[in-house]
Amino acid sequence: MNANLKKPQIYLSATYSDLVAERYIVLDVLRHFNVQVFFMESWSTPADQEVCYNEIDKSEICIFIFGHRYEAEVESEYDYARKVGKLCLVYIKSDDVPVRVSDIESDIQKIQRLKDLKKKLSNDITFSKFESAEQLSQQVAQDLRKVLQWQGEYKEFEKTIGEKSPQVFISHNVKSDGVRANKIADALRTKGIRVWIAPDSIKKTETWVQAIERGLSESELMIVLVSSTSVESAWVNLEMQAAISRERDKKMKILPVILEECNMPLFWKLYQAIIYKDQNQCIAEIMGYMG
């Protein structure tokens, strides 16, 4: 392995008392990948939430494991990782396997929060269920090989994930096209592409305009989702104007993805476009465009 190649950091989070075996077997898997790992036991004293957020910021991949107990801190870490655009690998213990009574949530309010959390997690493109610690370890290893393109050593890790990987700016109408936009973003992240997408990529300290300016300046490609609502959106039109200016300076490419037939602005029609038919077809064409 190239000694100068930066080791990727992985953030590992799981509910504590009910997933001890699962947590340690996953740690053992991660050691085989020669990665840096931050997890609860990394500190001699419990880490506060800000420390955890800082470690998430420094991580390329976040792994979250959920069982039959609820911890607000773990949900908060997951929400933060998704907000800042991290690639999240999510694993949920199946309800179909027997577990110890002590490993099952008994607090009525937490039971409901756990139910709501699992419903939210089920919408994550990278979520998987497991029945045993051994099955979990195999799934994590398989997923990491795909993400890191692992074949005995890293294949230029920084080309597929991390600061040197390409970044895509996704422009869309948040209200009407947000669900589809986020699914496209998640699929691109699994292929090692960094993604800027509102509102998740907007930092707490930034205004909306500042965040858009940063996202555009850091991105090599703008994907604009074209719909009857996006062509009327002031924000989408503002982002397109800025992207066209960058494209003229040869700093950015623009790729419209047409979600539905609509009255596209004249300048938008000048660009090669993808007609969205389904998720897999769309991602394949985007990756083909990016080369």
Reported as a pLDDT band with limits 50, 70 and 90, residue 154 is: very low
CATH superfamily name and code, 166-290:
Toll/interleukin-1 receptor homology (TIR) domain (3.40.50.10140)
Higher pLDDT, 166 or 112: 112
Ramachandran assignment for 202, one of left (phi > 0), alpha (psi -120 to 50 degrees), beta (any other): beta
pLDDT at residue 2 in the model: 44
Q: Are the folds of 9-148 and 166-290 the same?
A: yes
Question: For tokens 């993400």, what's the residue?
Answer: 147
DSSP letter at 40 equals G
pLDDT at residue 1 in the model: 40
Q: Rounded CA gap, 13 and 75, in Å?
A: 9
Question: What tokens appear for 86 in the block?
Answer: 């991290």
Find residue 256's DSSP bridge partners: 224
Domain locations in the chain as residue ranges:
9-148, 166-290
pLDDT at residue 81 in the model: 92
Are 240 and 224 spatial neighbours (Cβ–Cβ below 8 Å)? yes
The DSSP H or E segment spanning 30 is helix 20-31
Class (C level, CATH) for 9-148 = alpha beta
Across 207-232, average pLDDT:
94
Question: For tokens 């230029």, what's the residue?
Answer: 156
Query: Model-level pTM?
Result: 0.53
pLDDT at residue 127 in the model: 83
Are 92 and 130 spatial neighbours (Cβ–Cβ below 8 Å)? yes
3-state secondary structure of 115: helix
Reported as a pLDDT band with limits 50, 70 and 90, residue 137 is: confident
